[in-house]
Amino acid sequence: MDMKMVSRIAHGTVLAAVLAGGCSDDGGTGAGTQNVDTTAQTTDTSGATQSPGPTSNPDPTGSSDGTQSGGQTTTTSEPDPTAGPTTTPPTSTTSTTTTATATTSPDTTTTTNATASSTTGDETTGGVNNVVRFVVLGDVGEGNEDQYQVADAIIAVCEQRGCDWAMLTGDNFYDSGVDGVDDPQWQEKFELPYMGITFPIYAVLGNHDYGGNGIGVDFDTSKSDYQVEYTQHSELWRMPDKYYSWKQAHAEFWGLDTNQVMTDPFNGSSDDQQAWLDQTLAASTATWKIAFGHHPYLSNGEHGNAGDYEDLEGIPLPFVAGENVKEFMEESVCGKIDVYICGHDHTMQWLQAQCGTEFIVAGAGSKANGLPGNNPQHFQVPEMEGFTWVELNDNSFTGVIFDKNGNELYSRTFSK
CB 385 within 8 A of CB 145: no
Question: What was the pLDDT predicted at 314?
Answer: 57
47 within domain boundaries: no
Residues 6 or more apart whose CB falls under 8 angstroms from that of 393 comprise 130, 131
Per-residue pLDDT, averaged over 244-250, amounts to: 97
Residue among 86, 79, 56, 121 at smallest CA distance from 285: 86
Q: For residue 132, what are the β-bridge partners?
A: 392
21 within domain boundaries: no
pLDDT above 70 (res 236): yes
Backbone angles phi, psi at 403, to 5 degrees: -85, 180
pLDDT in tens, 137-148: 999 999 999 999
Residues 6 or more apart whose CB falls under 8 angstroms from that of 10 comprise 318
212 within domain boundaries: yes
pLDDT above 80 (res 124): no
**From CA 299, how far away is CA 349, in angstroms rounded?**
8
Question: What was the pLDDT predicted at 105?
Answer: 39
pLDDT above 80 (res 396): yes
| Sign of the four-CA dihedral 72, 342, 399, 31 | positive
376 within domain boundaries: yes
**From CA 19, how far away is CA 84, in angstroms rounded?**
46
12 within domain boundaries: no
pLDDT above 80 (res 311): no
The CA distances from residue 224 to 227, 275, 278, 283, 364, in Å, are: 6, 21, 23, 28, 22
Question: What was the pLDDT predicted at 282?
Answer: 98
pLDDT in tens, 44-61: 333 333 333 333 333 433
pLDDT in tens, 46-100: 333 333 333 333 343 333 333 333 334 444 333 333 233 233 333 445 666 665 5
Count the residues in the chain. Answer: 416
Q: Which residue has the higher pLDDT, 260 or 117?
A: 260
pLDDT band, very low/low/confident/very high, at 379 (cuts 50, 70, 90)? very high
292 within domain boundaries: yes
pLDDT above 80 (res 249): yes
Question: What was the pLDDT predicted at 128?
Answer: 61
pLDDT band, very low/low/confident/very high, at 272 (cuts 50, 70, 90)? very high
Per-residue pLDDT, averaged over 115-123, amounts to: 32
Question: What was the pLDDT predicted at 232?
Answer: 98
**From CA 206, how far away is CA 20, in angstroms rounded?**
19
CA atoms within 13 A on the CB side of 88: 1
Per-residue pLDDT, averaged over 21-31, amounts to: 43
- Structural domain harbouring 258: 131-415
Question: What was the pLDDT predicted at 129?
Answer: 79
How large a percentage of the chain has pLDDT more than 90? 64
State how many domains the chain has.
1
Residue among 246, 332, 255 at smallest CA distance from 297: 332
CA atoms within 13 A on the CB side of 206: 31
CATH number of the CATH domain containing 394: 3.60.21.10
Q: Which residue has the higher pLDDT, 289 or 45?
A: 289
pLDDT band, very low/low/confident/very high, at 308 (cuts 50, 70, 90)? confident
pLDDT band, very low/low/confident/very high, at 337 (cuts 50, 70, 90)? very high
301 within domain boundaries: yes
Per-residue pLDDT, averaged over 6-22, amounts to: 43
Residue 182: left (phi > 0), alpha (psi -120 to 50), or beta? alpha
Question: What was the pLDDT predicted at 99?
Answer: 55
327 within domain boundaries: yes
